[in-house]
Each structure stands twice: as C-alpha cells, then as structure tokens.
Chain A
Amino acid sequence: MPKASKQIIQYSSDEDSSEASGDESLRSGENSDSSQQQQQQSDYSEDEESDSEDAKAAKIREQLAHVPFNQLIRIQQQMGTSKFNKSIGLKEKSDTRKKVQQALRQSVGGSASGDAELSDEESGSESENSAPEMSSTGKSLKPSGGKSKDFHRDSRKMPAMMSSKRPVSRFRQVVEVAKPQTRDPRFDGLSGNYNEDLFEKSYSFLDKQQEEEIEALKAQMLKIKKHDPHEAQRIQTVVSSLQSQIAAKKQKKHSQELKRTHRKKELEAVKQGKTPYFLKKRELKGLEAAEKFSKLKDSSKLDNYMEKRRKRNATKDHRRMPYRRREE
C-alpha cells in the first residue's frame, strides 16, 4: 500500500536534488559500481522511451497530485499495478524481485539462455489481477518445462550471459563429434505412405522365395532327423511357423475379399437409393465361419472340427467358472 506513495514522493525529490547540484560527474562519482550499472540500464531504458510519453506521464502525475490517497489505491487496484505505474511514468524498478526470481530459477533448473521466458513473464505481469505481485512471482517459480533460463539477452548477436557460480568439470568436448541422426522409416515422412496393393505387387516374389525355403528346410530336416533330433525339431518349428505365416496371409486376404464383396453389394444398394449397411467385425467373423463350415462339409471334416471346438470352449468355460461352482 505505501508503495505507490513512496515512489511518487521519490520521483519528486529526485527532480529537486537534480536541480540543486548541477554537477553530473560528482553524482556519478558517488554511486557504487553496481548502482552505476543500474543507472546505465535505466539510461538505456530512458533512451528508448520517447519524450511524448514522459510529458504525458508528467501531466497525469500533476493531475493525480490532487487525488486523495485512498482513491489512488483503488485506481491502482482496478487498473493493475503495471498499467498504473506505466501511466504515471514509473520505470520498472523491480530489480530485487527479478534478482530473487533469477536466483530461484537457478536453483530450480538448468542454465540455457533464451527469449521465451521473459515474454512469458511480461505477459503474466500485464494481466490485470487483484494481487498482481503474487501471480507474477507464482508464475516464475514454476519451472517452464525443464527449460528454465537464467539470463536473458536482447539479441543473438550479444554475448551470452551465464552464471559465474557453477564449477565446470575438467573434462570437456575437445573435438565436436557429429551425433548420428537416427530416423525411423515408419514415421519418417520421406518414406511415403503405405500402399498395400503396390507393395504386394512389387514384392510378390518374396512369397515364392518363402515357399522354396520351406521346401529346402523340409529336405534338410529329413536329412538331419537321424543324427540330430534337436536340430530337426528346431527346423520343424521354423517350418511350421513359416507355414502358419502363409496360412495367416491367406486368411487375411480371404477376409478382405469378403469385405470387398459386401461393400460392392452395399454400393449397388446405395445406387438404388437405400442406406448402406456396414459390416461389424462379428458379422465378418460369422461370414468367415460360414464359409469354413461349407468347406469342411464338402471335405467331411466338419464333425471333427465341431468336436474340437466344443472341447476347447468347454475347457475355457470351465476355467472361467468361479471356484465354488466348479464343484457343482
């Protein structure tokens, strides 16, 4: 609360004292080095501020001089401290607060320099809040995604500013080794999009190769069977896995075919004006099962298959039954 009044009074007293002693060199001589630097910084900001803004601010200050203090505080709270300060021409002298923030940031995170965080801070402080100070400090205390920056420089051409309090290890990278750039072709844009049809057409030779491999492996297995049963077993597993791969591919193609035929049917229906009906997975499965049944029936293995299926489902159900009821 007394902050605003102190600042206003300070400003007027500065003006008086500057008129009294006209010697610039003495004034600069009095200050210590750190305040000299601050002075320099403030000189820098003074250069940026245009004269018209100063004049405006001076006018506002004149008018405010007659306003009672409670009202000033109310205005400040309504406007927001930073806006208020700007309108009366007070420069941002939050050095101590900034230093505290910097110290906190140092303790929290790493030490890269950058531009993003200052802009975040500025935007945070400019928002009108009832307790502007609290919100801005709260924002700065949060580490911004692990990239907390210590010091800010205005442009990349200026020297980088770093903390001088962190020890550096004796080992350093003398020669910069280029990091090997790994790329995953699955997610790389360069690889293009997967075109299944094209893939099958261009790599259809692989299927033939696979079949030949299976034949070769079978022959090898027969040879080795006598003296090395383990090796034969291994080859057998490989062969069977390859065979099941082929079977799976075939099955997949088959189901795709079914889908396609269904879709064609629906397309025709749409042309006639009806709404399309989309196959559910379960229905597709049903279609496949129907085809399977018809095939098995022709080869008269249907009974065998149904028996196996029943057994399988029975054991599953049995396993899933709760413990007590199993006894029943």
Chain B
Amino acid sequence: MPKDRFLAQGVTGSKRQRSGKPAAARKQAKGQPSQRPGHSKRRRHGGSDDDEEGGGHGESENEIGDINDLEHRYGTDENEASSEEDEFLETAADKRLRLAKSYINKVKAATELDADEYDAAQIDRDLIAERLTTDARERSGKWSRRIASQFAYPVDESSMMRVLKNGHRLPVTCVAITPNGQFVYSGSKDGSLIKWHRESGRKLKMFVGQKKSNPAPNHRLGHCDHILSIAVSSDSRYVATGGRDRRIHIWSVDEDRHLIAFHQHKDSVTGLVFRRGINHLYSCSADRMVKLWNVDELAYMDTLFGHQDIILSIDALQREQAVTTGSRDKTLRLWKIADEAQLVFRGGSTTDQNRITKALSEGKQDAIEAVAEVKSLISQNPQTVQQASEYRDMLRRLASEESGFAEESVDVVAMIDEETYVTGGDSGALCLWSVQKKKPVFIHHIAHGIQPTLPAGAEEEEEDAAKLPTRTRWITALAAVPFTDMFFSGSSDGVVRMWRMRPGKAPGFDMVNTISVAGFVNGLSARELSPEGSLAQRKDIVLAVAVGQEHRLGRWAKEKARNVVKLFHLPANPQKQQVPVE
C-alpha cells in the first residue's frame, strides 16, 4: 500500500505531523490532556495501519491530540466535561435567544445609568424597555410619539437661544447637530465649515474654504465654492459636506480632519443624508443623480437615476430608502435601493380659490376636540396667536381676490416616518405625503405667507403695485424629529414654525408654535437630547437654524439679517406631558 493519505483507512491517528514539533511538545502547548470518553472507539482502525505507521502506536495520547486537531471540534479543548452530544446544533429558537441576549447587553451598555440616586434595577428595566420599544417602533416605520404639545410655549431668547456668531462671513447654508448632541456643524457660502460646541456655543474648529479663483485648488483642504449641504453620521463619527465645487468632503468628527473628497458628481451637490444606524451616505446633486457611498470604506457604491431636473434635497431614515425632491420636475421620489426601484409622487398642486376657501372652512369640519386642543396650545404663545389670525386674514383676502399659486418647484423634504413625508415648495404649500398615494394626502397652503410686492422702503404707487403679481414665500428649510409628531419649517418671513401632526385617522398637521428668526432660514436641524437618568417622555429638543441674508441656492433677494446659526434649546414642558401612544 502506498503511503497515501487518501488511501489510508480511517484517517485518524496517522503519524503525519501537522507542524514540525513533535507530538509531545504539541500536547504541552495545548495545555490539557483531553480525556474524552470513548476515545478508544476512535482507534478502531489503528490495527490496519500498523504496517504504515512507523512507531506511533505507543503514543496513544498523541493520537488523540491529532484526532482533535484533525476534526476541528469547537470547544473540545476548553470543555473538559463536554457532553456526549457531539454535534452542537443551534435551532432557530436558540439562535434568537442568543441574539436577543446579546442585543439586550448592547442596549445595557449603551444606556448610561445613574445607579446611585434611583433604584438601579427599576431604572435598568425602564430604560432598556424604553430603548427596546423605541427601536421596535422605529423598525416598524410608523411615527407614534406625541411630543409637540410639550413645546408649544413662547421661546425665551435669553435662556433658550444661543447665537453662534462671528464664524461665517457669507450666508450660512446648512447646519447639522451631531446625534450625541455635543457639536453643531455649519457650512456657508464662503466655503467654510465650522464645528461649534453645542452647550457653550464656542467655535471649536474652522475649516476655511479656498478661494473660488484658485486655479488648482487642493481638494484635500476642503471646499472651494459654496457649501450647500451637510450631514452627520448616526454614530457621530463622520461629517459629510457637499457644495458647488461638485465634491463631497468627508471629515472625521473626533480627529477634526479631512478624510476624503468624492469627486464623482458632475454638478453641485445639493443634499446629503446619512442612513440611521449604518454609515451609508446618500447624496443628491444638480446632475439629477442620487449616489450612494459607504463611508466606513470611503468608497462609492451606486448611482440612481430618475429625476428630470436638479435634485434639491434628500432625506432618509433607517431603511435602505431615500426620498428626494426634484425641483421643477415637480416630483418627489422614493428610492427603494434594494429593489432598484423608485416610486414617483406627483407634486405641483395649485393653490387656487377653491382650495383657499376650503382651507378657511376646514376648522369647522374637523373634530371639535382636535381644534380645541390646537387652540389651547397656540394660546400659550401670543406670537403664534397673532400669526394664526394673520393667516386667516390673508386667506380671506386671497379668496376674494381670485389669485392662484401653482407649485412649480418642490424644494425641500423631510421624513416623519418611513411612510410619511412632508415637502415644501415655492408656492409656500406644505404637503404631507403617504406611500400609498401619488398625490399629497394633506396640503397646508401658503404656510409662510405672502412676499411683499415691493421691497420695504420703496414708495408704493397704487397702479404699479396692483400690476405686480403676489408671490408666496418659498419654503426654504424643513426638519422633522423622526417618529414623532413634530416638525419645523423655515422660510424668509422671519418665523420658524413648529407643526404638529394630527392624531387620529385623518392626516394633517397644525401650527402649534412660532420662533422668530430674521433672515432666510437655509437650514434646520432638530435633535432630541436624552439626558442621563431621564425617562422617555421628557426629552429636550435642540433646534439649530442656519440663517443667511440670501437663499442658499441663489441671490434672488437679500434680507436684513446676520449670517449666523441660531441654536435653540427647548426644554420639554413638564406641565404638558403627553403619554406616548402605542
């Protein structure tokens, strides 16, 4: 018989040596003589191999060591008392149990517990339960927490507002708060990106933009044209900025340095968003393409086509889906990336007389309790009351004037949950969308009022004023607190409005609060802060408003304002605590 491994009977206990070391040394290295019951069984073929083996039979224990080596049993060396069951088969249920335990341990580690003051076990259970329920709700994709009524009070500028100033020279175009609530990033038209400390308002780091005239800019230093969009990853490690220089720059939050510049876009990058929970970046650009990036690998992943005009904004939550607005092609598209499909929603709704009169009479159609609740919320802030009454007056005036506004461009979008989106356009209409319908489910017309026909200070000649068309204020920024009923909208009318989704079956939203902010609101970012040891219902909201003298995309008008970032810390009003609805 040739000394061939294949032909040797019972490939066990042969004297071939895996490593150069003698068997005894190998045994010692392992550290344990494994006394497996029934090892005598495995020597069953030993007799037939006697001719081939030189003198290996005496070392019975070494053979056993070889056997263990050969069969690569998991845990054979560790478990001395390993059971008779040779195969460790994990059923589906066992696997789930194991994963659930590891998940709970992860959640435990993530939630920081203040064990001294409270009953540790209780807090443990509550926080973990809360975290698990929020995670479950987020995965289900439906908004459920009602928090807007806790924030309906007038904003006290002295205690709640902080102005991040002396940073940008030109209008601030975008702003983002890191999910851990520590930093605020803002980008502006001068190409500079600034990292601010949220609590103190200090400027921590500034990445100055290079001059536009620079013939050979070094793209590793940063932007060389307007910054138009910004996004922070959910683990607060990366910041992505995109701008008119067609580049997406990735910066590291902890190390304060530039990582990479993606150059694949062919036109300015107008929107960026990180997916929740995973470091995938979605970018949208004026070249009508949506591109996907893996930021952990610093690599390009995919391109999605479909829009017929420049894409102005993008938003995404946890799923591998993104929603984009296509300005003048009047569509909102939901990109299902896994299916390589897109759902096309048709915007471009007209605000005509019929709709205005309907909006006026809407209060009577709604349930009386809902209207009363909104009224009570509004009444806390006199500015909001005034705004509401001005709105109704304006609607009445427009209803009699025979004017109509068509939405020619869908500009901004925010995702409230995985299947509900809100968009704003140049007709001032805030539209609420659902995945099941191609037209908006609810429209709030002329949300931010009418632009004055002549600039302030000009003499009004009655004839000329009558000829000029009335224009509505464009919605320039939207931000939603995902999976809750609250979202914010900004425009150039000097007021950031806080909206609350209507509870119940009929979709809709109402204004519940206003925050005065002068200038063009080019960016909004809203985050919930979860301070230590607190329960789910009472989380403060931090709202960052990027204010500029001009619109972020062009110089159609100039407002008297300062180019700053206004940071609002809105504590949850304990009196108006709402129980979260399942």
Residues in chain A within 8 A of chain B (CB atoms): 13, 16-17, 20-21, 23-30, 33-34, 36-37, 151, 157-168, 170, 172, 174
Contact = CB atoms under 8 A, between A and B. Distances in A.
A26 B103 contact: yes
A170 B310 CA distance: 10
Contacts of A163: 340-342
Interface residues of B, number: 43
Contacts of A168: 288, 305-308
Contacts of A20: 92-93, 96
Interface stretch (B199-207, B433-441, B539-547): B433-441
B139 interface: yes
At the interface, is chain A mostly helix, strand, loop or mixed? mixed
Interface in B308-331: 308-309, 319-320, 328-329
A17 B92 contact: yes
Contacts of B334: 159
A25 B136 contact: yes
Q: Looking at chain B's contact residues, is the secondary structure mostly helix, strand, loop, or mixed?
A: mixed
A164 B334 CA distance: 10
B104 to A, nearest CB: 10
Interface in B143-182: none
A157 B437 contact: yes
Contacts of A21: 93, 96-97, 100
A144 B408 CA distance: 37
A285 to B, nearest CB: 66
A129 B335 CA distance: 39
Contact of A30 (B96, B304, B435): B96
B140 interface: yes
Contacts of B338: 33-34, 37
18 contacts: A20-B92, A24-B136, A26-B103, A29-B136, A30-B96, A33-B338, A34-B320, A34-B339, A37-B336, A157-B436, A158-B437, A159-B435, A160-B438, A163-B341, A164-B336, A166-B306, A168-B305, A174-B328
Contact of A164 (B93, B99, B342): B342
Given A20-B93, A23-B100, A151-B341, A164 B304 contact: yes
B343 A159 contact: yes
Interface of B: 91-93, 96-97, 99-100, 103, 132-133, 135-136, 139-140, 288, 304-309, 319-320, 328-329, 334-346, 435-439
Contacts of A17: 91-93, 96
Contacts of A167: 305
A116 B564 CA distance: 56
Given A17-B92, A30-B96, A164-B306, A159 B345 contact: yes
Contact of A166 (B96, B103, B305, B345): B305
A24 B340 CA distance: 28
Contact of B305 (A30, A159, A164, A174): A164
Contacts of A162: 306, 341-342, 344
A161 to B, nearest CB: 5
A119 B345 CA distance: 25
A167 B291 CA distance: 13
Q: Which 10 A-B pairs have the closest CB atoms?
A: A20-B93, A25-B136, A159-B343, A159-B438, A34-B338, A164-B304, A164-B342, A172-B308, A17-B92, A21-B96
Given A21-B100, A30-B99, 13 more contacts: A23-B100, A26-B99, A29-B135, A151-B341, A157-B438, A159-B438, A160-B343, A160-B438, A161-B341, A163-B341, A164-B304, A164-B340, A172-B308
